[in-house]
Amino acid sequence: MVPLSWYLIFAALLFSIGLFGVLSRRNAVAILLGIELMLNAVNINLAAFWRYGDVLQMAGQVFAIIVFAVAAAEVAVGLALVISVYRRRNTVVADEINMMKW
């Protein structure tokens, strides 16, 4: 049987990979890809805690489903913003989107 720690370390590694993507990619769409990896790592933790805790309490799975909904909303708004910026500024490079920078 797989101990809980394996799932938690797996999720921590996936979260760190996503964080690296968010911090170091220049393309705004690639930054959103990194955010998806981080959200998935969190969901693995929620499912693992549900399975290794009290199976009769569904809180872990319910929370994971709400994270799915929030992730879908976040991707829709994020990609709409990227497409809108691309239309006006003709770029998706995060460094060059600096209208609100002082």
> How wide is the angle at C-alpha 17 spanned by C-alphas 12 and 23, nearest 5°?
120
Q: Which residue has the tokens 């790592």?
A: 41
Instruction: Choose between 82 and 102: whose C-beta lies nearer to other proteins.
Output: 82
Q: Which of 74, 80, 16, 5 is nearest to 42 (CA)?
A: 16
> Residue 9 in 3-state DSSP?
helix
Using CB under 8 A as the binding rule, whether residue 89 contacts other proteins is answered as no
**85 contacts: CB under 8 Å, gap ≥ 6:** 28, 91, 92, 97
Using CB under 8 A as the binding rule, whether residue 88 contacts other proteins is answered as no
Using CB under 8 A as the binding rule, whether residue 96 contacts other proteins is answered as no
Instruction: Choose between 3 and 102: whose C-beta lies nearer to other proteins.
Output: 3
Q: Minimum CB separation from other proteins for residue 67, in Å?
A: 9
Q: Minimum CB separation from other proteins for residue 102, in Å?
A: 20
Site for other proteins in 44-83 (CB under 8 A): 44, 47-48, 50-52, 55-56, 58-59, 61-62, 64-66, 68-77, 79-83
